[in-house]
Amino acid sequence: MMIRKIGLGLVAVAISFGTAFAGDFDQCRDEFIHGNPPVIQHQETLRPRALCFSAFAVLHSGISHTPIYVAERLNRGLLQEAKNNQRTNKFYADARLPKSERAELSDYRGSGFDRGHMAPAGDMAGIDAMAQSFSLANMVPQYAINNRKTWASIEKATRRYVMRAAGDVFVITGPVFDGTPPTIGPDHVWVPQHLFKLVYDPSTNKAWAHWLDNTNEARVGRPISYEELVRRTGIKFLPI
């Protein structure tokens, strides 16, 4: 999720990307609990566009050129299927977004930052879902050690929980920006100061969030409560 505190390459498969539009997630409401996306006040200032993918939903900002948030509905069956899926590593600029609003591969090239997945490739069940997860609309500039080790450990811990859960688990992931963020590339893609991953299990009615600074020195701490995440971001993510 993007908050300012005041927040293809060639893919050798046929991919159906769904739609991009500035309104609601009509074609991917099942990625949200009760079909309800997060409530963001004054979101028009973020130049938002809703993007539906096969296995996740992105609210993208044309201001930051990053996701505002990325939503997934996960369960044991999907993750078991994802274990057998081969990672493609074919990143691409999402042509559904206007050129003035999207990140390009050239923005990350030579920047020193990883293209950090918000919906992880490791969650993706099926060829299309895996390929689509490499859209730059699903990425933020992330420090390399943070992305590959610390954040990756949070993603793995989330999958371990989903494998134990009784049914669907809803996960919302995103970046948080403080003040005037640094940028990379000709398109001035914003670099987040923090990352979060919210986990909600309807079977237990419990929610918690991982909060991590976007630095190479950051270490995983204790999860924060859903209420604390709402307080820090000002966003109501769940209809609970």
Residues labelled as active-site residues: 117
The whole-angstrom separation of Cα 205 and Cα 171 is 13
Non-local (6+) Cβ contacts of 79 within 8 A are 123, 125, 159, 162, 163
Instruction: Indicate the pairing of strand 206-213 with strand 224-225.
Output: antiparallel
The whole-angstrom separation of Cα 85 and Cα 196 is 25
Which residues are bridge partners to 175 per DSSP?
195
Residue identified by tokens 């991917």 is: 28
- Beta-strand ranges (E) seen in the chain are 20-21, 48-52, 57-61, 66-74, 114-117, 139-142, 169-176, 183-184, 189-190, 194-201, 206-213, 224-225
How many C-beta neighbours within 10 Å does residue 90 have?
13
Cβ proximity of 191 and 141 under 8 Å? yes
**Dihedral of the alpha carbons of 151, 225, 73, 77, in degrees to the nearest 10:** 80
